[in-house]
């Protein structure tokens, strides 16, 4: 009988952290399918993964070992095809799921069939696993000090970063219906949240259920550097969003996003991209 929840763990040169990530899936309070994808790591990640699997021979763990690097989006989609689970979590091999992440997600989403994504609060940790801060500041009961929006979030997601991507839990049927991740992109989270939020609700669980590791080599840390393809992907996402906006509120949200990304492009001397964002901004302003 297939598991209700599948965790797809994507690994690329995370030999130091992958075993902790995998162990956090095994430790879930709700039995969870685990699919591990190594995207042609050049370090000792594959050996660490195989060693972990041999220590947990009682668990059925599916693996994909890519011979060449495909990137996050293609690697994830390959794993997505292997599972019939109802819910999906995309776990980077340097992050950690706290033991009740899956159970809490199921409790929320199983009673709310309209929800495409459940997201939560998270703690940020450093390379050594030490606490840095919470994504949403919390009170003494670990509840968010701010009101976190949920429901129809398309405009909010388009306008600003406020959801911690490693906390996402997807309804698989909605995710597969839109074709999974866009394989033309260098990163997935903004695009997939926008495409799913266009027609579906999101829900928030006000608990810290994930630990996100902050590394100097992470994709987020390098996104604006010269030669990095993430800003190109953000431009593509903004162009896709232009085709999705339906009212003035969403138009203003897209303009806010465009202006922010144009500023980043200019500050980091990505002048061709800066010009492309400004052109899209004028196109958006002129849209009726």
Q: Are residues 120 and 61 in the same domain?
A: yes
Residue 241: band (very low, low, confident or very high) from pLDDT cuts 50, 70, 90: very high
- Give the percent of the chain with pLDDT over 90: 92
pLDDT in tens, 156-212: 999 999 999 999 999 999 999 999 999 999 999 999 999 999 999 999 999 999 999
Q: Which of 194, 215, 236 is the last residue of a domain?
A: 215
Handedness of CA 57, 63, 67, 71 (dihedral sign): negative
pLDDT in tens, 91-130: 999 999 999 999 999 999 999 999 999 999 999 999 999 9
The per-residue pLDDT for 216 is 74
Q: Are residues 106 and 156 in the same domain?
A: yes
The per-residue pLDDT for 218 is 58
Q: Are residues 136 and 183 in the same domain?
A: yes
The per-residue pLDDT for 192 is 98
The per-residue pLDDT for 90 is 98
Q: Are residues 204 and 264 in the same domain?
A: no
The per-residue pLDDT for 226 is 64
**pLDDT over 60 at 269, yes or no:** yes
> Residues near 144 by Cβ (< 8 Å), separated by ≥ 6?
121, 136, 137, 138, 206
Instruction: Give me the chain's average pLDDT, please.
Output: 95
The per-residue pLDDT for 288 is 72
Number of domains the chain contains: 2
Cβ contact 96:21 at 8 Å: yes
Q: Are residues 253 and 184 in the same domain?
A: no
Q: Are residues 118 and 39 in the same domain?
A: yes
Residue 89 has phi, psi (to 5 degrees) of -120, 135
The per-residue pLDDT for 221 is 52
Q: Are residues 232 and 208 in the same domain?
A: no
Q: Are residues 161 and 228 in the same domain?
A: no
Domain that holds residue 203: 5-215
pLDDT mean over 62-69: 97
Q: Which of 157, 189, 215 is the last residue of a domain?
A: 215
The per-residue pLDDT for 259 is 97
């Amino acid at each position: 009988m297939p598991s209700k929840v599948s965790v797809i763990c994507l690994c690329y040169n995370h030999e130091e952290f992958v075993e902790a990530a995998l162990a956090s899936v095994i430790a879930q309070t709700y039995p969870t399918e685990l699919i591990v994808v190594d995207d042609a790591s050049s370090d000792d990640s594959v050996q660490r993964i195989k060693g972990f699997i041999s220590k947990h021979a009682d668990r059925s763990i599916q693996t994909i070992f890519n011979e060449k690097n495909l990137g996050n989006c293609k690697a994830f989609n390959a794993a997505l095809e292997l599972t019939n689970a109802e819910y999906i979590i995309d776990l980077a091999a340097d992050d950690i799921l706290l033991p009740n992440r899956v159970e809490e997600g199921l409790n929320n989403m199983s009673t709310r069939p309209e929800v495409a994504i459940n997201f939560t609060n998270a703690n940020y940790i450093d390379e050594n696993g030490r606490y840095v801060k919470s994504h949403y500041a919390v009170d003494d009961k670990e509840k968010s000090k701010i009101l976190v929006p949920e429901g129809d979030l398309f405009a909010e997601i388009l306008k600003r970063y406020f959801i911690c991507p490693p906390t996402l839990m997807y309804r698989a049927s909605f995710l597969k219906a839109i074709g999974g991740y866009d394989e033309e992109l260098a990163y997935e989270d903004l695009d997939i949240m926008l495409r799913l939020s266009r027609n579906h609700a999101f829900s928030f669980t006000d608990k810290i259920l994930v630990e996100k590791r902050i590394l100097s080599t992470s994709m987020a840390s390098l996104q604006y550097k010269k030669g990095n393809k993430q800003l190109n992907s953000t431009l593509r996402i903004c162009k896709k969003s232009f085709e999705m906006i339906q009212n003035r509120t969403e138009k203003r949200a897209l303009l806010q996003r465009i202006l922010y990304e144009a500023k980043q492009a200019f500050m980091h001397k990505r002048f061709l991209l800066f010009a492309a964002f400004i052109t899209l901004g004028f196109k958006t302003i002129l849209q009726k």
